[in-house]
A and B are shown apart, each in its own frame.
Chain A
């Protein structure tokens, strides 16, 4: 007999397959437009750009971050760099003070108030037509800015351009899992760019026309995801966001499970609450694919993953219960039965085939993302880390995010804030 839970489950599976197929069809439609440039490009005109580096206790990475900006293939007289110390309690201020000699670098110091306040200080002092921010734990590729600026040159309607984020020097399983996720992110973001439906303008080196802030206002706290809130605000006001897939920015990622969980909790909490704030946008066709695809699909993922997790916990509980009963009744039996593999016992429920379809499409996204990221090997055994790590992180983060939203508990804004997305 089909229960109501089965029906809900199949609807969620249907919507998940729908989302993946939608991405794939978008890819097929636009595949010829995806260009990964090699080497140096030149612009007709090099507009002035201000890049703000908000720093909060980043003594170990900020120097390299600033160096990466100084090494950019962009005329240094057109590049203003603002280093904003947001009340660091470590040696960050001393580290950034060593850059005072550079003409195009300005240093600010303020009391701690959160990342968005530091970026807003930069915005207030900026006089250029283009503005961006680079998190102090991220490093811009030499060609990244010029490639981003080429998108503005090509299309005057583009109001913001996000780069491709890659994981800097992954060392352990947690970081390798994120590397895979970021590769898939490159693919998904490109597709969302084609759909005009990007939902985050990441902290590391998204460049905006200054007009965006003049028209729509400065950054807000946005439930500690200011870069997501800004993208939501731009989408609501019909400001085009594009993705420059061959502009690479390497970012430090959480090294431990706990830190990764904290970061994801912040993102998910931010997503849920920004979606609630912008709920009037959902399914309104005047807001485009952002309203009819990105937001509903993300909501489906929230529900699906929570549901799946609940089911998983239930099954696990059941399994453990049965094992306890078995132990009580017949004790531990280490005697192995003659195990003969019999293909009869392979599950052939339609769900198995549907999961297979989703997996194939996800793996395609990862591999194509790797290709777009100029990864030498399209396959690596480290790709396997992705599944176990995120099978645990995603549902836990989601459930805690929902729980916090219901109880209106805000995650600490410093949780994983260093690796802002």
Chain B
């Protein structure tokens, strides 16, 4: 009977398995870093876009509003938001990801301020929603509100939704929370046309509000009816 156990083999297989784990972890880190770099590149591009728009805006006094086209708004902000959310879920809430999220929040604020200025100065019909949610506590209403906003965004591509995580440790966000007097007990919170709405607001409600405030032209006559 082959009762002799080859312990050396057990050890070698152990080392090979450890090696495979190390390789898997290395590959995972390598590709994870590639993704982080990709995010950084997108953020840099957005930063340049915004800077360029700001510069363009500063020149506005000498230019006509005709020259302000849709291109002043960075189209990649939404894409970056999706990628960051995915990264937080799949790469883990690492320091780098949370740093990128802070940076993203700042870019959103800058984009919002610029868009508002342009809107006021040139009378461009634009639609903004500031959306405050939290990931720190289990906020099921936030999850539901996010779904409503995604549906709205799909329906009205020109609608700009800026999402801010209440728990982000960033002074600019704290200031915004103070300005709009938003407390963590009243999340989710929305700011539409300087009106603060707290709690969950359904699709029909928000749709009528943005239509009213911004006279948006939807891509289709109406969204699917809410089912209960």
Contact = CB atoms under 8 A, between A and B. Distances in A.
A357 interface: yes
A330 B83 contact: no
A325 B9 contact: no
B133 to A, nearest CB: 15
Contact of A17 (B20, B31, B83): B20
B13 A18 contact: yes
Contact of B203 (A25, A286, A329, A344): A329
Contacts of A18: 13-14, 17
Nearest to A358: B20
Contact of B28 (A14, A238, A322, A353): A353
B143 interface: yes
B90 A349 contact: yes
A347 B2 contact: no
Interface residues of A, number: 43
B28 A348 contact: yes
A25 B224 contact: no
A348 B144 contact: no
A383 interface: no
A239 B3 CA distance: 10
B5 A292 contact: yes
Contacts of A286: 3
Contact of A353 (B23, B83, B226): B23
Interface string A30-74: 000000000000000000000000000000000000000000000
A195 B1 CA distance: 10
19 contacts: A17-B20, A22-B10, A25-B13, A157-B1, A238-B3, A287-B3, A288-B3, A289-B2, A292-B10, A322-B143, A326-B147, A327-B227, A330-B147, A330-B203, A331-B226, A333-B154, A335-B154, A348-B27, A350-B24
Closest 9 CB pairs of A and B: A196-B2, A348-B31, A353-B24, A350-B28, A288-B3, A350-B24, A331-B224, A238-B1, A330-B151
Interface of A: 14, 17-18, 21-22, 25-26, 29, 157, 195-196, 238-240, 285-289, 292, 322, 325-333, 335, 337, 344-345, 347-354, 357
